[in-house]
Amino acid sequence: MAEKKVLSGGGQIYSFARASFSHFDVIERDVIMATYNRNEINPIQVVRVSTGFQELDWIYGETNDKWGLPMRAISLWSGEAGTGKTRTTIEICNKMASRGMKILYFQAESDLGTFSGKIKHDSFRLGDSRHLADIKKDILTDRPDIVVIDSVNMIKEFKSGTAAIIESIIDEFKDICRDIGSHIILLGQLNQNGSVKGSSALPHLVDIHFDIKKHQTGGLFVIRTGIKHRFGRIGSSFWTTWEHTDSGVECISTCRKIDRKWKKSRVLSFCEIK
């Protein structure tokens, strides 16, 4: 059974492990209130972590021959309901948790008792907070490596906020992920006109935007780079194809193999997939 920890803010975190740990150190930051010469600023190295899927690592990008999602950053995955956003992020989180990484997954669209059956590893934890203050408190208490908010539309302040409030919410998430060295994945639903529910500006506010669409072939869907990618390349060439299976999802494309940059700097330690 899951251990349940009740926080003072009212949110609950459901734990499937008695002990957990993080591989990333806290980075202390000061607010810059002046101008500086570049020699006076200590550059921060981009740390990349494999998602467990080479095709997804490829569209997330590369730093010094290391492919994968960048830590201290925010991704937005936007798509229509039922495309595969949740199933894919669960699969990614299970793969990362199998390597000992701490996962904190906020889920408000399904019963947590049912959702917990999809978790395969002890360092994968669930939260059901919906207010921004409670979500922030949960993250700072757990200090996870990967945070998933499924979906961003579940946050009370986001649903009723103006464009300025939504921008401030994203700024607060940026401060958190940069301070504790985590990566935050926001799942967003789309309106009928194709914009993200709650704010059409949201893809411009995050660091990375992925667009998820159903494929014309039944049972398949595509994840592709969207309108913004501060840590990689964008364009019609950067997409991956996935298939729904009885147990989850499977990546079936191999587009990375024709990319010269990938072939030149391929990291052999990544697990092989199709």
Tell me what pLDDT residue 30 has.
45
Q: From CA 153, how far away is CA 155, in angstroms rounded? A: 6
With vertex at residue 214, the alpha carbon angle to CA 209 and CA 218, rounded to the nearest 5 degrees, is 155
Asked if 73 and 231 touch (Cβ cutoff 8 Å), the reply is yes
Contact (Cβ atoms closer than 8 angstroms) between residue 223 and residue 210: yes
> DSSP per residue over 174-204, as a string?
HHHHHHHT-EEEEEEEB-TTSSBTT-TTHHH
For the beta carbon of residue 69, count every other beta carbon within 10 angstroms: 24
The answer to whether 241 and 252 are in contact (CB under 8 A) is: yes
Give the angle 202-185-161 at the CA atoms, nearest 5°.
35
Please tell me the predicted confidence (pLDDT) of residue 243.
Answer: 94
pLDDT of residue 32: 47
Range list of β-strands (E), 7-145: 12-15, 48-49, 62-63, 66-67, 69-70, 73-79, 103-107, 124-127
What are the pLDDT tens digits along the chain (274 aa)?
444 444 444 455 544 443 333 443 333 444 445 787 878 788 788 999 999 999 999 999 999 989 999 999 999 999 988 899 999 999 999 999 999 999 999 997 778 888 888 999 999 999 999 999 999 999 999 999 999 999 998 899 987 778 888 999 999 999 999 899 999 999 998 765 556 766 788 999 999 999 999 988 778 999 999 999 999 999 888 999 999 998 889 999 999 988 888 877 654 333 333 3
Q: How far apart are CA 162 and CA 151, in angstroms?
A: 18
Domains, the chain, ordered by start: 48-261 (3.40.50.300)
Residues 72, 182: contact at Cβ < 8 Å? yes
Q: How far apart are CA 74 and CA 174, in angstroms?
A: 7
Distance CA 204, CA 221 (A): 23
3-state secondary structure of 218: coil
**Half-sphere CA count of 119, side-chain side, radius 13 A:** 23
Q: What's residue 193's pLDDT?
A: 57
